[in-house]
Chains A and B, each alone.
Chain A
Amino acid sequence: MSTHMERDLRLALAARAAELPSDASARLLSFDYRPHTPRARPAIALAATTVTAGAALAFSLVGLGTDAPRAFAGWSAAPTGVTRRQLQRAITVCSSQLANTASRERERQAGSGTRGWLPAPFPTAGWHIVLLDTRGPYTTVVSEVDRGRAASTCFVDRRGQASAGTAVGVRPPPPVPAGEVSYRSSGSTTTPPDEGSRQFSMIVGRTGAGVTGVTLRLNDGTRVTASRAHGWFLAWWPGSHGLSATEVTTATGTTVRRSVVR
């Protein structure tokens, strides 16, 4: 069958689906839950945008906002249950932040008429949530567009303050082989001195078919269980310890991969 037709159909369907605003599902869910909890309207933190080209290891890491004085109290090495309030707040604030970033980008592109240093246009529509990671009072939302061509990581702290990084490539990354994982972004950052100079690190990646668990071994011996969904995984931890190995679990067992990240 025509390869052109298949490719055109993929693009047409993606474009059609992108007509729905990025917060359409959040609105749908919040409508359903409205009788139970008022909608949170936290302030929007400034989004930092980091761009990369192609499928190479990209850097995209959130900043910590203003949560540092009580940094990471309640953090858990394994994902925890999310409260309704956390859920609504994270989806609302992260959707708003993406929409704001897209709006600024549209204005910037319209004003300059060029993409500037961006390797590809910042996607202004079509974002959808693929992963939600909750560790105590902290929630991280990963959204993607165009099968991972661009991915945004939005971290929401205990006060509802969000900050995010976005990686934009020129094309979707190649599929990850079955039973394997690949790292999409990694890094660590430090909060300002007046906020405690606390560091935290985060890794975001993709999983191939059949992966049922991802655990990161840090070089201080800590084991951090990643959240997984829709072919993505994410884990973060306080401090700047690097990754020494990754445990990948499939139906046939767990294998340990030496890791070279940081």
Chain B
Amino acid sequence: MDLLRKGRARAEFERFAAIHADGLLRSAYLMAGDRGEAEDLVQECLLRLARRWPRVRSMEHPGAYARRVLFNLALDDGRKRTRRRGELQAVETPHGGGGESSTVAALEARADLVQALGGLPARQRAVLVLRYFADLPETEVATILDCPRGTVKSSASRGLERLRQTLELSAPQALADDPQPKVRRTIS
């Protein structure tokens, strides 16, 4: 970060990075599915922001711009590594704790959902992460992904439908493996 030599600009950028790095890192983790790749994405994102800091600092919403840079990087990265699609690791399910079956089922359902998310096209995944993790309205997601609001709406709808279908397809196998049938795969 020696790109910012002036004290005040540097302090401002470091303050900005401290506030936004966590949210960016968790979003990157959901997009990439791997902590190392997520850290690389955030580092690259912060470097780009530092290079453009005099312009970024004057923006009305520099945090939104940071998200835009991050998701563009993630989408570029996703395109370069399409073979990795679907490799999003499952959420670890604790064993041996004597947990109730409903808790285990809920954790399994979460793991299935996250795994299914990893199988979506990167752009659909980005829409779902921005809408349902970052809690952003459709208009803001459209700005970040540089597309019409209608595209965000249809991508979210298609993504959710595809997740639902994927979970339905995986359910019979889960039922066959589990002596306690899962009546509803809803996280509680």
User: Hey, which bits of chain A sit against chain B, CB under 8 A?
Assistant: 1-2, 4-17, 19-20, 24-25, 28-29, 32-33, 81-84, 87, 91, 128-132, 134, 147, 229-230
Contacts and interface: CB of A to CB of B under 8 A. Distances in A.
Contacts of B185: 8
Interface in B103-120: 109-110, 113-114, 117
Interface string B21-35: 111111101100001
Contact residues of B: prevailing secondary structure: helix
Nearest to A172: B135
A9 B113 contact: yes
B183 interface: no
Nearest to A4: B186
Contact residues of A: prevailing secondary structure: helix
Contacts of A87: 14-15, 18
B85 to A, nearest CB: 16
B37 interface: no
Contacts of A24: 22, 25, 35
A4 B186 CA distance: 7
Nearest to B88: A16
A83 B26 CA distance: 25
B157 A1 contact: yes
B129 interface: yes
A5 B128 CA distance: 12
B160 A2 contact: yes
A16 B21 contact: no
B18 A91 contact: yes
A82 B14 contact: yes
B138 interface: no
B15 A17 contact: no
A230 B23 contact: yes
A16 B11 contact: no
A229 B19 contact: yes
Question: What are the 3 tightest A-B residue pairs by CB atom distance, in nearest-first order?
Answer: A25-B21, A25-B22, A17-B26
Instruction: Determine the interface band of chain B, counting residues with CB < 8 A from chain A.
Output: 35 or more
Given A13-B133, A16-B114, A81 B161 contact: no
A13 B17 contact: no
Contacts of B92: 19
B65 to A, nearest CB: 14
Interface string B61-76: 0010000000000000
A17 B160 contact: no
Which of B46, B117, B132 has the largest number of chain A CB atoms within 10 A? B132
8 contacts: A1-B157, A8-B109, A12-B110, A25-B18, A28-B21, A28-B43, A33-B1, A132-B19
Given A91-B18, A230-B23, A32 B43 contact: yes
Contacts of A82: 11, 14-15, 18
B52 interface: no
B100 to A, nearest CB: 13
A81 B39 contact: no
Contacts of B174: none
Contacts of B141: none
A147 B30 CA distance: 17
B110 A5 contact: no
A13 B161 CA distance: 17
B132 A17 contact: no
Contacts of B156: 1
Contacts of B128: 9, 13
Contacts of A134: 15
Contacts of B161: 1
B8 interface: yes
A26 B29 CA distance: 15
Given A1-B157, A1-B161, A129-B22, A13 B14 contact: no
Given A11-B110, A13-B30, 7 more contacts: A1-B160, A4-B186, A13-B132, A17-B26, A17-B30, A83-B11, A132-B18
Nearest to B128: A9
